[in-house]
Amino acid sequence: MHSNALTLIDLFAGAGGLSEGLSEAGFHSLMSSEIVPAYAQTYKQNHPSSKVITADIRTLDAEKIRRELNLDKGELDLIAGGPPCQGFSINAPVRSVLDHRNHLFKEYLRFVDAFAPKAILIENVPGLVSFAKGNTLRAILDALAELGYGADVRILGAAYYGVPQMRWRTIILGLHGKRLPPHAFPEPIYHAPIRPNFTTYFNGRPLVKFPLGTASPDFVTVEEAIGDLPPLAAGELGAEVKQYICEPQCDFQRRMRTGTTGVLNHAAIKLSKINLERLAHIKPGGNWTDIPAHLLPKGMQRAKKSDHTKRYGRVTPDGLASTILTKCDPHWGAYFHYSQDRSFTVREAARFQSFPDHFVFAGNQQEQFAQVGNAVPPLLAEAVGLPVKAILQGA
């Protein structure tokens, strides 16, 4: 089944968004490492032939795992991973070099040293580029060079690759014993209404891959992403497996529905009475500024209209979703449905992340939202994986 696929191990794997996209690009996951049990369970359900290790990566013997996988050093095609990035995030309250999560890159590098894969892939938040004045990123690239990898970095906008949300990721790619060619990073295929709000230069050169004139103007919209999913009232659970309300209306829906006959992980969160009252005043594209002052939380009643512009937002059907976070809490951003008086479900959040509908999330609803929000969008991962595959195969 996987005889022609390139081999992959996925570290800090989460629910497996990176592996899901890379599998579509032609890679097969031999092993993954994830510390959170619910995340690891989701990964195992969706990648049943992969060896899933649920443990703190700092306790793992990389050489022993390589031998257990029956791999010689240098035989593995790719090590991919996203070490926890909260400490680097431009949205984090404190971006500190003392944050222990920042040093988990060393564990990733330890596996690279043990396996000596032909290629490496690291994904992170855009804030990595400016963290510690760029010195952290320089240290990572220097460490990879010491291990024999020609590596480079770009910042990719997920919406440019068919993901229907405003999400950016920093991608580091490297080849063992070779300089990384310019075409290693994928060219955007769509124009989309997104703008960087972070540092876009590193060592004096621009990192963001912007679409060229040949890219399509028809980015995937919110309605195209979720318009075929069954309607729900706030707090409505419904059947575990629900039916689509129509035939696929666009290529994105057709792709999301491949391999499944129903809708899972689609139950609506119950909203408080006050949030339902607030929601009644918000039009598509609107936000907290549409809500009468007496209905606002006390802390927002004195806020400037220019502040908190995404809070209590209702998305527009012809636009992009906000960046999907670890819970679709309306107090955090624009997570109200454009035509239904409720916030997004796990499945809708997963659609905005480009997870196919056959990808089922384990754990309770809170854990499922966290898995979706922490994931790499599979369509973005696939876009990154395709040129890497071509390079490794000598195409």
The residues, any chain, with a CB within 8 Å of residue 155's CB and separated by 6 or more, are: 126, 129, 168, 169, 170, 171, 196, 198, 200, 207, 208, 209
Distance in angstroms (rounded) separating the CA atoms of residues 25 and 181: 19
Residue 80: strand pairing partners: 10, 121
* Distance separating alpha carbons of residues 89 and 126, to the nearest angstrom: 7
The DSSP result for 198-211, as a single string, is S--EETTEE-B---
Tell me, letter by letter, the H, E, C secondary structure of 32-78: EEECCHHHHHHHHHHCCCCEEEECCHHHCCHHHHHHHCCCCCCCCCE
How big, in percent rounded to 5, are the helix, strand and coil portions of the chain? 35, 15, 50
Question: How many CB atoms neighbour CB 39 within 10 A?
Answer: 26
Q: What residue spans of 101-186 are helical by DSSP H?
A: 105-115, 135-146
Question: Per DSSP, which regions of 90-130 are E strands?
Answer: 119-124
Instruction: Return the DSSP state at 11.
Output: E
| C-alpha span between 290 and 308 (Å, rounded) | 12
Of 85, 246, 250, 328, catalytic: 85
* Known active-site residue 85: yes
Residues with catalytic roles = 85
